[in-house]
Chain A
Amino acid sequence: MSRSETLLEFLARVPFAQTLGFRCDIRGDEMTAILPGDDKLIGNVGIRAIHGGAMGAFLELTAMSQVFLVTQLQRPPRPIDLTIDYLRSGRGGEDVYARASLVKLGSRMATVRAEAWQTEKAKPVAALRAQFLVAAAEASP
């Protein structure tokens, strides 16, 4: 199985990825994650803005998926910490896209950045920086 098939097979078995509605389009080692617009993801009904927690979860899943895609890990990498910057309010009911890139892949840790946008990639709605444990996840039973 290719890494992209392994990732898709894994994501299909992650209940929360289904709950969120997470999808992705993989071309080689490049992945664009898609969060289809859905009213359940709204946090502020008054301005129909996407919940910060839904946006954060989407970016975290995007970052995790990218690490999984470009490594040979058998288990999902575990997040150590993450920071999310909320740059614009996400428009509820509209799709969100995200891409992640590995800043550094070490033997134990991976540092990842990810950005989410809606209609214009140059106008990101949120950005994430996260550290993942990539070694211990392999060693754990």
Chain B
Amino acid sequence: MAEDERKIPLEALQQHAHMMMEGVPWANHLGFRVTRVESGRAFATAPWREDLVGDPETGVIHGGVITALLDNICGVSIATRLSEVRAMATLDLRIDYMRPATRGEDIIGEAECYHVTRSVAFTHAWAYHGSRERMIATASGAFALNDPRRWAPGSGGLSAVARELEKKE
């Protein structure tokens, strides 16, 4: 995609990055927040919260929280490479758990969308504390890009920013 074909400028995505998960109920419920986007890359945080703990003895966050974070941040990284709003659906996701998350520490999710075709987008993602030196999990996922006339896009990602821009016009 040539940059000039983009209907929503990257600067607008960067300015409104925090909105890209607010309209996604499950991401919002878990307290996820998009912190930064670049072209083909996105970052978000997941808070350490008592209600997200998967092991009551150790206070380690449940793997399912990390799955949700990485799945969603992959979607956001794809959105940074799309020229227009598309309906997106996860086709598959592979997660490797390196080590348990530490009690009391927030988790950073980072995703890279490294290839996009007309119908599919490919991503890699990482979950860590602080920096990639303290990796918790890695992921790779493929996502279907569906025709928005047949599949309604959600209210997160590009849609959230598009709506915000319309409001201002």
> Which A positions have Cβ atoms within 8 angstroms of B?
13-20, 39-47, 49-54, 56-58, 60-61, 75-76, 78-86, 89
Contact = CB atoms under 8 A, between A and B. Distances in A.
A84 B64 contact: no
Nearest to B151: A47
A84 B156 CA distance: 22
Contact of B25 (A20, A43, A76, A79): A43
A15 B50 contact: yes
Contacts of B152: 44, 46-47
A80 B63 CA distance: 10
Contacts of B97: 78-81
Nearest to B70: A53
A52 B90 contact: yes
Given A78-B97, A80-B97, A86-B91, A54 B26 contact: yes
Nearest to A140: B58
B65 interface: yes
Contact of A46 (B56, B61, B91, B154): B154
B102 interface: no
B166 to A, nearest CB: 16
Nearest to B144: A86
B71 A56 contact: yes
Interface in B71-116: 71-72, 87-97, 100
A129 B71 CA distance: 17
Contacts of B71: 51-53, 56
Given A16-B52, A40-B25, A82 B94 contact: yes
Contacts of A41: 25-26
Query: By DSSP majority rule, is chain B's interface helix, strand, loop, or mixed?
Result: mixed
A16 B64 CA distance: 9
Query: By DSSP majority rule, is chain A's interface helix, strand, loop, or mixed?
Result: mixed
Nearest to A75: B57
B9 interface: no
B1 to A, nearest CB: 23
A54 B24 CA distance: 12
B23 interface: yes
B62 A14 contact: yes
B154 A15 contact: no
Given A19-B51, A40-B25, A49 B94 contact: no
Given A15-B52, A75-B57, A81 B68 contact: no
Contacts of A19: 29, 51-52
Lowest 10 CB-CB distances: which A-B pairs, in order?
Answer: A53-B68, A57-B64, A46-B152, A51-B26, A44-B154, A16-B62, A52-B90, A56-B67, A45-B155, A53-B71
Contacts of B27: 43, 51, 53
Contacts of B153: 44, 46
B161 interface: no
